[in-house]
Structure 1
């Protein structure tokens, strides 16, 4: 290590030349690199939700989740599968390996759900398949406070909401 430092201190011109080149190359890359305000990040999670009015969590697990899990296990690229049963609802969450093809995975999940749907009880609503996307989450959260009446704050909030929604790139 000491020898390396001695060499660098003896040859200051090449060291400064390399440092200057790195600074110029870094500045050029920074200026020309494309930037996105809201990049489309693909989250490797797909959710299957089944609803059946009045079904208990135990029955939801037995009658809704188990048949669905049986079919969903055949899908390739699934990293982890978790299920949750609540009153009237059964949910299966599929987490895929990084770098998955979201369109193919969504198609595979929908096919498996269609097959498993035949094993679900008759009164069960059609299962919903949802892909998690950052576009579903708000990118802007605004809080208003002040020494004014609540009615004034509500009116300001509505005006601000209307103003933000008029921006072309903002989804309502």
Structure 2
């Protein structure tokens, strides 16, 4: 109770006390031991392609559908979602829960499939 009265009467003391408590909190947070940091891997890839001057129907027929056909050949897919608009095709590819090394391999496979579709 006496500390509270002293802080109310003496504003600089209240500011210093606040700063000390804040610094102790920051130091405690920074020195807090961690058993392990979580591995964060969202396992998704976004693909955007542009065909200037094309209608949404042309984009879907000429770009989106062929790319989706190639993408579906890649292993460990969870889902593929696409949108076709004038001039732009957007495809979101989500993989299953796989390790980072496997994810890198699947992305390489995905790039290979996309290159094959682009060259045909």
Which residue of structure 2 lines up, in the alignment, with residue 107 of structure 1? 108
Cα RMSD (Å): 1.9
Which whole-Å deviations, capped at 9, do the CAs of 1:22-63 have from their partners, x for residues lacking one? xxxxxxxx846245xxx6621111112111111111110000
Q: 1:33 to 1:91 in 2, by over 3 A?
A: same
- Partner residue, 1:33: 35
Equivalences for 1:32-111 in 2 at 5 Å?
33-35=35-37, 41-100=40-99, 101-111=102-112
Pick the structure with more helix per residue: 2
3-state SS of 1:43 partner: coil
Give the 3 Å change call, closer, same or farther, for CA 108–34 of structure 1 in structure 2: same
Other structure's SS at 2:63 match: helix
| Equivalent-residue separation in structure 1 for 2:40 and 2:36 (angstroms) | 15
Runs of 4+ in 1 over 3 A off after TM superposition: none
The alignment's TM-score, normalised by the length of structure 1, stands at: 0.46
For residues 31 and 85 of structure 1, what CA distance do their matches in structure 2 show? 48
Where does the alignment leave 5 or more consecutive residues of structure 1 unmatched?
1-29, 120-172
Which sections of structure 2, spanning at least 5 residues, go unmatched? 1-31
Distance 1:82 1:34 in 2: 34
CA distance in 2, matches of 1:32, 1:50: 42
